[in-house]
Amino acid sequence: MSEAASDVLVERRGAVTWITINREARRNALNEQVVRTIDQAIAAAVGDGVSRAIVITGAGDKAFCAGADLAKNVQGFAFAVDFARPKHYIVDLFKRLQECTLPVIARVNGHVMAGGFGLLCACDLAIAADDIRIGTTEPKIGVTPMMILPYMMRVLPPRRLQEMCITGEQFTAQDALDWGVVNYVVPRAELDAKLDWLLARITDKSPTALRLGKQAFNATRDMSLREALEYAQAMVPVMSSTQDAREGMTAFQEKRAPNFTGN
C-alpha cells in the first residue's frame, strides 16, 4: 500500500464499507489525496453491489477530522487553488456525497473542526462520542468557512451558524444533539455499540427504497411545496413497481421477513 493510500483505510465489514481517515498524527486533516481517495471509495462502495451503507470515521480517539491540512505547500501557502480547474476537489467529494445512493453515517470519534465539520454535515446520519467538540476555526486564522457553508446551512439553525462563522468558537456534543447536527450522542465506550445498532436498522432494509428515498429527500428539499408534491406523485408509481416493493408487500401479507435484492 502506498503512503498516500495508507492515509485512508477502506474495508468492508459485512454489508458496510468503512472509510477511515488514517492521519492521526495530523488530527486526520484533509489534503487533496485524502479527499480524492474518500471520493473514490464512496464510488466503489456504491458500485460493488454488496455494500448497504458507508461509515466515515477518523483514526484514534482525538479527532474525527480537523479540516484542511494547514501544512504549507511548496509555494509557502496552506491553501492552493488551481485556476485551470473549474472545481475544487472538496466540491467533487461533497457532490459525490450528495449523489451517493447508500446511507452514509459519520462515526464521530473525536473533535471535528473546520472542513471536518463540513464532512460531518454532508453525511446522512451521525453518532458522536459525548466528549467531542465541534467548531469552525477559520475565523481565528483570518478566513471564513466558505467551502463548507452550503452544507452547514442545511443542518444548523441560522443563528447558531452565524455565531459560529463570526466567533469561530467551539460547541459540545450535547449542543450538536440539541441543534440536530448529530442523531445520537453516547459515552465514548458505547460509540461502536450504538453504531452497530443503527447499522442493523439500515442494512436489513430495501436498498431500492433507501436509494429512491435519498434521491427524493435531496431533490425535494430544494423545491417549492408545489414542485415537491408533483415530484412525489410522479415517484410513487416508480417506487411501487420495483421488485423490492413487491417483495416487501408479499412478505408482509405472508407474515415473513422480506428478501430484498436491491431491484
Three-state DSSP class for residue 230: helix
- pLDDT of 63 higher than 60: yes
pTM: 0.87
Q: What is the structure's pLDDT at 4?
A: 47
Smallest CA-to-CA distance from 211 within 129, 104, 102, 118 is with: 102
Q: How confident is the model at residue 87 (pLDDT cuts 50, 70, 90)?
A: low
Mean pLDDT of the chain: 88
Q: What is the structure's pLDDT at 51?
A: 93
Q: How confident is the model at residue 85 (pLDDT cuts 50, 70, 90)?
A: low
Three-state DSSP class for residue 12: strand
From the CB of residue 256, how many other CB atoms can be counted at a distance below 10 Å?
9
| Mean pLDDT lowest among 41-55, 114-128, 151-165 | 151-165
Q: For residue 58, which phi and psi values (nearest 5 degrees)?
A: -120, 160
Q: What is the structure's pLDDT at 2?
A: 38
Residue pointed to by grid coordinates 489525496: 33
Containing 56, the helix (H) or strand (E) segment is: strand 53-58
Task: Report d(CA 75, CA 41) in Å as an integer.
Answer: 30
Task: Report d(CA 193, CA 125) in Å as an integer.
Answer: 16
- pLDDT of 263 higher than 60: yes
Local structure of residue 146 (DSSP, 8 states): T
Written as one letter, the residue type at 233 is Q
Local structure of residue 74 (DSSP, 8 states): T
Task: Report d(CA 149, CA 77) in Å as an integer.
Answer: 22
pLDDT in tens, 187-197: 999 999 999 99
CATH number assigned to the domain with residue range 3-203, chosen from the 4 options 1.20.1440.60, 3.90.226.10, 3.30.70.20, 3.40.50.720 = 3.90.226.10
N- to C-terminal Cα separation, the chain = 35
147 contacts 91 by C-beta, under 8 angstroms? yes
118 contacts 61 by C-beta, under 8 angstroms? no
